[in-house]
Chains A and B, each alone.
Chain A
Amino acid sequence: MPAPDVADAQLEVTKFIVDNFLFGNAAEAPAPATSFMETGLIDSTGVLELVSFVEEKYGFKVADDELVPENLDSVANLAAFVVKKAGK
Chain B
Amino acid sequence: MAAFSKDVLVIDLEAEAQRIAGEIRRIVAHECKRRGLVVALSGGIDSSCVAGLAVKALGPSKVFGVHMPERDSSGETLRLSQSVSTTLGFESTVEILTPILEGFGCYQRRDEAIRMVFPAFGPGWKSKIVLPGLEGGAVNVYSLVVQTPEGTIHKERLPLKAYLQIVAATNFKQRTRKTLEYFHADRLNYAVTGTPNRLESDQGFFVKGGDGLADVKPIAHLYKTQVYAMAKHLGIPADICGRAPTTDTYSLAQGQDEFYFSLPYAQMDLALWARNHGVSPVEAAPVIGITADQVERVYKDIDQKRVTTRYLGLKAQLCGAVPEITG
Residues of A participating in the B interface, judged by any CB pair closer than 8 Å? 37-38, 40, 43-45, 47-49, 51-52, 64-65, 67-70, 72-73
Q: State A72–B141 Cα separation when bound (angstroms).
A: 12
Residues of B participating in the A interface, judged by any CB pair closer than 8 Å? 136-141, 143, 157-160, 163-164, 300, 304, 307-308
For B307, the chain A residues whose CB sits under 8 A away are: 40, 43
Q: Is the CB of A67 within 8 A of B139?
A: yes
Q: State A67–B137 Cα separation when bound (angstroms).
A: 8
Q: Which residue of A lies closest to B307 (CB)?
A: A40
Q: State A37–B140 Cα separation when bound (angstroms).
A: 11
Question: What are 26 A-B pairs at a CB distance below 8 A?
Answer: A37-B139, A37-B304, A38-B304, A40-B304, A40-B308, A43-B304, A43-B308, A44-B140, A44-B141, A45-B160, A47-B139, A47-B141, A48-B141, A51-B160, A52-B159, A52-B160, A64-B143, A65-B136, A65-B138, A67-B157, A68-B136, A68-B138, A69-B137, A69-B139, A72-B139, A73-B139
Number of A-B contacts (CB under 8 A): 48
Q: Is the CB of A44 within 8 A of B164?
A: no
For B157, the chain A residues whose CB sits under 8 A away are: 64, 67
Max chain B CB contacts within 10 Å: which of A49, A67, A70?
A: A67
Q: Is the CB of A49 within 8 A of B160?
A: yes
Q: State A31–B277 Cα separation when bound (angstroms).
A: 32
Q: Is the CB of A44 within 8 A of B308?
A: yes
Q: State A48–B131 Cα separation when bound (angstroms).
A: 13
The smallest C-beta distance from B277 to any residue of chain A, in angstroms, reads: 22
Max chain A CB contacts within 10 Å: which of B141, B159, B164?
A: B141
The smallest C-beta distance from A56 to any residue of chain B, in angstroms, reads: 11
Q: State A45–B163 Cα separation when bound (angstroms).
A: 9
Q: State A65–B140 Cα separation when bound (angstroms).
A: 12
Q: Is the CB of A44 within 8 A of B139?
A: yes
The smallest C-beta distance from A75 to any residue of chain B, in angstroms, reads: 16
Q: Is the CB of B141 within 8 A of A68?
A: no
For A45, the chain B residues whose CB sits under 8 A away are: 160, 163-164, 308
For B141, the chain A residues whose CB sits under 8 A away are: 44, 47-48, 51, 67
Q: Which residue of B lies closest to A37 (CB)?
A: B304
For A68, the chain B residues whose CB sits under 8 A away are: 136-139
The smallest C-beta distance from A35 to any residue of chain B, in angstroms, reads: 10
Q: State A44–B158 Cα separation when bound (angstroms).
A: 12
Q: Is the CB of A48 within 8 A of B138?
A: no
- 20 further contact pairs, Cβ within 8 A, besides A37-B300, A65-B138, A68-B138: A38-B304, A40-B304, A40-B308, A43-B307, A43-B308, A44-B139, A44-B140, A45-B160, A45-B163, A45-B164, A45-B308, A47-B141, A48-B141, A48-B158, A48-B160, A49-B160, A52-B160, A69-B137, A72-B139, A73-B139
Across the A-B interface, the 9 shortest Cβ-Cβ residue pairs: A43-B308, A40-B307, A48-B160, A44-B140, A67-B139, A68-B137, A52-B160, A47-B139, A67-B141
Q: State A18–B256 Cα separation when bound (angstroms).
A: 35
For B139, the chain A residues whose CB sits under 8 A away are: 37, 44, 47, 67-69, 72-73
For B143, the chain A residues whose CB sits under 8 A away are: 64
The smallest C-beta distance from A82 to any residue of chain B, in angstroms, reads: 16
Q: State A68–B139 Cα separation when bound (angstroms).
A: 5
The smallest C-beta distance from A20 to any residue of chain B, in angstroms, reads: 12
The smallest C-beta distance from B322 to any residue of chain A, in angstroms, reads: 25
Q: State A67–B304 Cα separation when bound (angstroms).
A: 16
For A51, the chain B residues whose CB sits under 8 A away are: 141, 160
